[in-house]
Amino acid sequence: MHSADLITSRARLTPNREALLYTHTGERFTYAQLNARANRAATFLRALGVGKGDRVSILAHNSVIYLDLFFGVAKIGAIFAPLNWRLTARELSYIVSDCEPKVVLCGPEFTETLSDLRGELRDAKIVSVEAAQIDGALCYETELARASDAEPARPALSADDPYCLLYTSGTTGKPKGAILPHRQILWNCINTCISWGLREDDVTPVLTPMFHAGGLFAFLTPIFYIGGRVILARAFDAEASLQMIVAEKCTVVLGVPTLFQMWFNTPYFSQADFSRVRFFINGGASIPVPLMQSWVAAKGGIFRQGYGLTEVGPNCFSMTDAESVAKRGAVGKPILHSQMRLVNPETGNAVGANEPGELLIWGPHVCAGYWKNSQATAHAISDGWFHTGDMARRDEDGYFYIIGRFKDMIKSGGENVYAAEVETIFRDHPAVQDAALIGKPDPKWDEVGLMIVLLKPGHTATEDELLKFCDGKLARFKIPKQVVFTDALPYSPYGKIEKVKLRERYLT
């Protein structure tokens, strides 16, 4: 089997089971209904000339249309290449020129961006969704209603045929299109269901954008695979989403640090009943320990720390409920069908217990490389091992801890200072909501740490106070030489601080 069969088989097994609630419209869909929509989408796309290997893109907010396309393209062997609507037309122009979509669907909020992209889209067919006013475009809803809901004839597909093309953030240069083959999506489902213990009665919200691997693959596709239920939000609203989690009796909840902080700050949090939630999963970045402790003190519950990448899937480690308490800060042990190594990034030699090393991952959930970029592919994948660029350590019991990006490191006086380690200490201060460390050029030490701090509302702290807080917790060379305060930090959709923007602001 390949992942094109995922929704088809689930509709055969549990056709009348509710699969999805789309909160924006209140519509509920069974597995049979989702499969019928996917068949209609596949038929419509094929009528537009889309075939095996062709790319189909969408520039729109979350909706059931993403699922139509995601499952529909698989049935005809095409490639799903969603576009990040947070990017400007200038940023997107490189991506669409690179992937050359044959069809682009566009929502009403992004018609101006689409207009700016028309020069790069060449012969792409444009389709309007949600009544977007686009000259000469087909109306998706009209065409979907006209199309047949019969299963389309399938092309020959292998496990290694491309299924999705997702572009990385491009923090070190131009975005790279990660090629996700059918096997990766399928094995992510298998690994997640087995290693995280998902059940067919699980209910999970999808609150993050579906142009990212987290929105598509963290729990949406695994929950469909196991036969559970998904609550899909068009966009994130802290109060409304928290009420929805309670009302729909969600059992597995994925968030990122900014989401958990926003939930904690809502007036509704004090009365929210999380008794149906089996565990919360934090992804994107490490959750501040004080926030986790405050949440658990107020509501109880289990927090697990997730880890993943677009190129290897969003769920690479797992732990039990008990381990999430005993090994707080760890991401756990490698998922069932995967192997991990930690190596010195300069020598390639394995490192010992509790020594930092670059994390390498091997398994059927590793991507096939980067679109039209053989150099980047060869750099990232060697003998099947994917070089994540993340530094981690493994303790004596085999639990992994993420230290931070290898490139997110300051070289100060010949010593390596990993930003994530220092940021964790600052986040432990009761007045600090978040913190980001960047390297500042220094004539004596080459680089010194500059910490940008966002304080919690209503709290105060001084530079001297925060630096003294580090005493005894960090070696002297790791303590930043300067602290500056900000009213806001730039975040990616998954809660990661965009340090390129910080360097532009503070170092230029």
Q: Which CATH superfamily is domain 417-507 in?
A: ANL, C-terminal domain (3.30.300.30)
Q: Are 74 and 4 in contact (CB under 8 A)?
A: yes
Name the superfamily (CATH) of residues 188-405: ANL, N-terminal domain (3.40.50.12780)
Please give the pLDDT value at position 474.
Answer: 87
User: Which residue has better confidence, 173 or 384?
Assistant: 384
Higher per-residue pLDDT: 494 or 223: 223
Q: Is pLDDT at 496 greater than 70 in this prediction?
A: yes
pLDDT, residue 417, reads 86
CA dist., res. 370 & res. 382, Å (int): 13
pLDDT given for residue 104 in this prediction:
98
Query: Model confidence over 119-145: pLDDT tens digits?
Result: 999 889 999 999 999 999 999 999 999
Residue 213, phi then psi, degrees to nearest 5? -60, -35
Of 249, 237, 241, nearest in space to 273 by CA: 249
- Which residue, among 54, 177, 59, has the nearest Cα to 118 in the 3D structure? 59
What's the rounded mean pLDDT across residues 256-263?
87
Over residues 314-362, the pLDDT tens digits come to: 999 999 999 988 998 899 999 999 999 999 988 999 999 999 999 999 9
Question: In this structure, are residues 188 and 222 in contact, taking their beta carbons and an 8 Å threshold?
Answer: yes
Examine domains 3-10+31-186 and 188-405 and report if their fold is the same: yes
> Per-residue pLDDT tens for 399-443?
999 887 777 888 787 777 888 889 989 998 999 999 999 999 888
- 5-47 tens-digit pLDDT: 999 999 999 999 999 999 999 999 999 999 999 999 999 999 9
pLDDT surpassing 90 at residue 232: yes
Residue 345, pLDDT score: 87
Mean pLDDT of the chain: 93
Contact (Cβ atoms closer than 8 angstroms) between residue 426 and residue 474: no
Q: Quote the pTM value.
A: 0.86
Separation between Cα atoms, residue 57 and residue 69, nearest integer Å: 9
Show me where the domains of the chain are located.
Answer: 3-10+31-186, 188-405, 417-507
The two tokens of residue 193 are 């269901």
pLDDT of residue 171: 47
Range in 275-279, 285-289, 444-448 the model is least confident about: 285-289
Question: Using CA atoms, how far apart are residues 422 and 329, in angstroms rounded to an integer?
Answer: 14
Among 114-118, 287-291, 334-338, the range scoring the smallest mean pLDDT is: 287-291
Nearest to 263 by CA among 236, 303, 229: 236
pLDDT of residue 472: 87
Residue 494 has pLDDT above 80, yes or no: no
Please give the pLDDT value at position 256: 83
pLDDT of residue 1: 64
pLDDT of residue 3: 86
pLDDT on residue 375: 94
- Give me the residue label for tokens 């131009």: 174
At 151-174, the pLDDT tens digits run: 999 999 999 999 999 998 654 568
Angstrom distance (rounded) from CA 187 to CA 183: 6
Alpha-carbon distance of 46 to 40, in angstroms, equals: 10
Q: Say if CB 233 and CB 241 are below 8 A apart.
A: yes
- d(Cα 508, Cα 499) in Å, to the nearest integer? 13
What is the CATH topology of the domain spanning 3-10+31-186? Rossmann fold (3.40.50)
pLDDT (tens digit, 9 = 90+) per residue, 47-96? 999 999 999 999 999 999 999 999 999 999 999 999 999 888 988 999 99
